[in-house]
A and B are shown apart, each in its own frame.
Chain A
């Protein structure tokens, strides 16, 4: 096996040196009856050439990866500068472990410190952690944190939060004594009005909203913050399309207490749903209730600046069952992707991409709105995703569009709610050219 340096002869020699009679004897502490007598029923080793051909052949069966898309719904196609993949492919980054030995991990630690800073700047919050698994688990952890901060057990969640995020939250809280209650979005505006949260009371730990929400509509986060705070509850804001930070008022500036987001938009390949990266930010005063790793500034005895993992007394390896979370491995390398992406695009690049997303999406919405039989059901403002109501079942229509024209026109909402047969969600980014948008409109007109 070419990944194992010691040759069979060397291994025999080593066995001899340590006084073990045979390879089989290395496993003497495993009861004989438990040791496998037969070889594993997995295929024989493949060569590099065969392996690549095998995967290429399977990849060719993913026709959906090969065409123009208007798919969003929690995962977005954006342009990634070439240097991002180049830099994360450096051995020093991708083959390193969690930075437990700071003297020889300063590259990773400084990058995380920059990541934490960037997340604070985008979200408008005081502090951010070193990443969570993804947006959905970050939101679930935010719910658990709100319970710890307030010692209250009721959480009211907007029904316009990504349905899979809601499912994950339900899984996480099912044994935590937390009750999740729904606040219905308004079918006219597509937003969740402040009045939807009227069930808020002195037992409510937090209000949870997504903005832009699952249907693309921008929520009135400032009004919801006021609503939450008036009852002594926290406001948790979830963002799935992180590019919106480039254009929309930050949740922090609107009064949010915890902001979580999916960071996939920042240079991370779609890769069929992962690995992505969860962003998690909050106010300084809640630092000790924060889940996940934190990197902080530190100095050596000569006064040289460096960075270390800090406030570890919150974490599982110290606090065990009393930890703020069970998370250990997070999404380090994907956080690095986001860091390199954000620094390369920079202040002006993020603004430009966000502008182009909004401009192109609004162009697409205007044009689709002109097609006979199609309408845009929601009046609320949107960033780069919007719902279209079709004159016929959307899933069939989208299927025809894909097979006939090679266009992935959007996501049929019937996938998430069987009553919504004719609605679909369209996402437009800087990658979609006017030509592609016009082709989508023509396809719908067909």
Chain B
């Protein structure tokens, strides 16, 4: 039975398991071309599957195409418009980069193919490393980490290994504190914990910057292994004392790790290596535009100083000058380094993301990379100026590529950040990052990126200002938003109390399906 419950073009689409009909098939394969052996001659019966894959769907190709096309229309995406998630850098994902990643000679290359016959692939890795080294000012690069948090873990393990080697195990065991500002992303403390560190939190000042006095105080204990700092920080503010911060940490015997999530504010303008940072991770899926894919894949290169380079994961890619068989330089994988923290992932990393990121860099060139940074910062400033009259901006400092506002004025009428975010959906925009960073009550962190034009920024500002007026004139309208989507706000608390994490045939039989 079809009940059209909303105006959405495809409101009803069941789970594929509920669509399944015994006997439908969606595949075609050539017939077996070798002499068939009885299964039990190959594999003992007790090792064979005995459930006939019960419950797995039986559908046709048409069913699958319609299924995913329909549910896809329930998603917002960058290609629809502004996706202003702060610290997520949702910029345009070029189709050209997608085409590059699908070139058969890369897409069909096995990771254990011989190095001599994978030279093009190795050269891509090498060249991307060179460019990232130039962009960050840090010469040692590993592209092995699969995402930002993975790159963080790699960077912090490098700090740990470096200090163990420098101080010896005994002295090093007394240096187990990792300093992390209270505004940091949650992956920072989680990654520090994985590397065996105890986290101490540094306060932010009223200006939203790292509290130097508190940093000095914490560094005086002699147990500091390092500092994890995001710059610009998650309030969108450049840590203008960054050189002093690095000096304080270095003098206390620690190293400085920079979370590169916000590199879109810096590419071509300033380099972490010049600031005194020892190690950083980048997010190719943010700054270098590889698609976020609804939650990944990412790629989180780890970039470090020459001093830390021996500790990077193995293998490393080395270039050997002079003509190889085909007149080019040759590239080799290098496995021998006893100081390395070890391997963090099978094979060489999320290679497909490396191809896309290299295509991004080469498409922009030196001018385009800087132009993107300038446009991204300008767009954020433009939004900051546009919202000032209606929303509380908790910090006066000029924002870089993202800006934080709060719901302070609206909450007096009972309208909170979550409601504003949901109402924004009705205006056709994806909401900003909400309730992060944690130190700002009712935070709304807005990052437009360079990929939006002025008209769209104006529409967004108008929408936000209109919501601010609604919050006063008609708070119910905002509190019950969104009104335009296929489904309303979902009861997340109930979902967590009694989690249903998979489809089961019994549920369908019990008629527990709402259409």
Alpha-carbon gap, A376 to B27, bound state (A): 34
Given A18-B382, A171-B341, A323-B186, decide whether A90 and B69 contact each other with a Cβ distance below 8 A: yes
Interface centre among A11, A74, A117, A381, by most chain B C-beta atoms within 10 angstroms, is A117
Given A62-B121, A111-B68, decide whether A299 and B491 contact each other with a Cβ distance below 8 A: yes
Chain A residues near B285 (CB-CB < 8 A): 329
B274 at the interface (CB under 8 A from A): yes
B7 at the interface (CB under 8 A from A): no
Chain B residues near A193 (CB-CB < 8 A): none
A419 at the interface (CB under 8 A from B): no
Interface centre among A35, A98, A298, by most chain B C-beta atoms within 10 angstroms, is A298
Chain B nearest CB from A367 CB (Å) reads 9
> Is the pair B43, A381 in contact by a Cβ cutoff of 8 Å?
yes
> Is the pair A104, B75 in contact by a Cβ cutoff of 8 Å?
yes
- Which of A87, A101, A124 lies in contact with B430, CB distance below 8 A? A101
Alpha-carbon gap, A302 to B515, bound state (A): 11
Report the contact-size class of chain B (Cβ under 8 Å from the partner): 35 or more
Interface centre among B88, B351, B369, B482, by most chain A C-beta atoms within 10 angstroms, is B351
> Is the pair B503, A71 in contact by a Cβ cutoff of 8 Å?
no
Q: Which chain B residues in 17-64 approach chain A with CB under 8 Å?
A: 17, 24-27, 29, 32-37, 39, 42-44, 46-59, 61, 64
Chain B residues near A349 (CB-CB < 8 A): 25-27, 29
Chain A nearest CB from B408 CB (Å) reads 22
Chain A residues near B352 (CB-CB < 8 A): 269, 271, 274-275
Report the contact-size class of chain A (Cβ under 8 Å from the partner): 35 or more
> Is the pair B100, A52 in contact by a Cβ cutoff of 8 Å?
yes
Chain B residues near A286 (CB-CB < 8 A): none
> Is the pair B99, A52 in contact by a Cβ cutoff of 8 Å?
yes
Chain A nearest CB from B63 CB (Å) reads 8
Chain B residues near A137 (CB-CB < 8 A): 146, 150, 344-345
- Which of B193, B275, B328 lies in contact with A34, CB distance below 8 A? B275
Q: Which chain A residues in 97-114 approach chain B with CB under 8 Å?
A: 97-108, 110-114
Query: Interface segment, B301-309, B451-459, B471-479?
Result: B451-459
Q: Which chain B residues in 57-81 approach chain A with CB under 8 Å?
A: 57-59, 61, 64-65, 67-69, 71-80
> Is the pair B293, A96 in contact by a Cβ cutoff of 8 Å?
yes
Q: Which residue of B lies closest to A302 (CB)?
A: B488
A344 at the interface (CB under 8 A from B): yes
> Is the pair B366, A333 in contact by a Cβ cutoff of 8 Å?
no
A306 at the interface (CB under 8 A from B): yes
Chain A 13-27 against B: per-residue CB contact (8 Å), 1 yes, 0 no? 111011110010011
A127 at the interface (CB under 8 A from B): yes
Chain A residues near B35 (CB-CB < 8 A): 363
B371 at the interface (CB under 8 A from A): yes
Chain A nearest CB from B324 CB (Å) reads 9
> Is the pair A107, B268 in contact by a Cβ cutoff of 8 Å?
no
Chain A residues near B452 (CB-CB < 8 A): 5
A48 at the interface (CB under 8 A from B): yes
Chain A 289-313 against B: per-residue CB contact (8 Å), 1 yes, 0 no? 0000111111111111111101111
